[in-house]
Structure 1
Amino acid sequence: MFGGGGLDPRKMQQMMEQMGIETDDIDAEEVIIRTADEELVFTSPEVQRISAQGQETYQIVGEPDTQATSDSSTDDSADEQAIPDEDVEIVAQRAGVNTEKAREALEAEDGDLAAAISRLE
């Protein structure tokens, strides 16, 4: 694009500034990307924010650890995060129980709302 062969980083930065492109390094400790099927966790990534024409984009450099979102852990805080609070509220309202009992039923049924409601009724 710029013919990058002999361009030193300072000149590249000057050209980007002339075009209205600003970059900013972010001192990130962790970046998490969640999809329906997996969770990508970048520990100690290099993150850069790029601002151009009123838009901000983020560039992440690093190796992610891939985990399935249905991965169960013995850590209680991880279990609580695995079940969305909205699901807990729905089960609690439908079954007429408090949120603690609703969460327990959801955990026992691996997050299945219908099964958790049936279990409590």
Structure 2
Amino acid sequence: MFGGGGMNPRKMKQMMKQMGIDVEEIDAERVVIETADADLVFDGAQVTKMDAQGQETYQIVGSPSEVESGSAVGAVEAGSGDATDADGAEDATDATDAGDAAIPDEDVALVAERAGVPKSTAREALEDANGDLAAAIADLE
């Protein structure tokens, strides 16, 4: 970034702090970039948020898979459906067919696990938070 290839990471962090730049690692499980042509899905990407004087910049490091535009959620559910029994796969399809406000089963499972609550409670929290994972988990904790 500053051309200091051999610079001490501690010194680099100190210089960035002096310039008003705050760097934070984000524990992201999946990042989806929607474009008109196709969706780019990063699974297990390394995400860094940099806040420089109120301007937030996100850096994504990883290799995306390209899926048909608008089908990124469906592709992930289809992939997770292979690991579940037939009833679990049917439930994922039912949730997808319920409309635009459907909450993916994968998101429900994640919130339930992180907050330590039953899936029904996690689904309600996600619906109340309009699908925002972080807000749902924060509300439950």
Q: So what's the TM-score if we normalise by structure 1? A: 0.57
Distance 2:94 2:18 in 1: 48
Q: Against the structure 1 CA distance between its residues 77 and 68, is the aligned structure 2 distance closer, same or farther, given a 3 Å change threshold?
A: farther
Residue 84 of structure 1 and its aligned partner are, at CA, apart by 5.9
- Residue 3 of structure 1: CA displacement? 3.8
State the 1:63 CA deviation. 0.3
- Map 1:30-109 to 2 at 5 A: 30-69=30-69, 76=93, 80=97
* Matches of 2:23 and 2:5, distance apart in 1: 21
Q: Is the counterpart of residue 6 in structure 1 residue 6 in structure 2? A: yes
Q: Distance in 1 between matches of 2:52 and 2:70?
A: 38
The alpha carbon displacement at 1:58 in A equals: 0.5
Pick closer, same or farther for the CA change 1:76–1:9 going to 2, 3 Å: same
CA distance in 2, matches of 1:54, 1:43: 28
Distance 1:2 1:21 in 2: 13
CA distance in 2, matches of 1:78, 1:39: 21
CA change 1:78–1:30 in 2 (3 A) is farther
2:16 equivalent in structure 1? 16
Deviation at 1:6, TM superposition (A): 2.8
The structure carrying a bigger helix percent of its residues is 2
Q: Distance in 2 between matches of 1:32 and 1:12?
A: 30
Unaligned ranges ≥5, structure 1: 86-121
Q: Which has the higher contact order (CA 8 A, sep 6+)?
A: 1
Q: Secondary structure at the match of 1:11?
A: helix
TM-score computed with the length of structure 2 as normaliser: 0.50
RMSD (CA atoms): 2.8
What stretches of structure 2 of length at least 5 have no aligned partner? 79-91, 102-141
Q: 1:77 to 1:18 in 2, by over 3 A?
A: farther
Task: Determine the structure 2 residue equivalent to 1:26.
Answer: 26
Following superposition, the deviation at residue 78 of structure 1 comes to 9.0
Aligned residues: 84
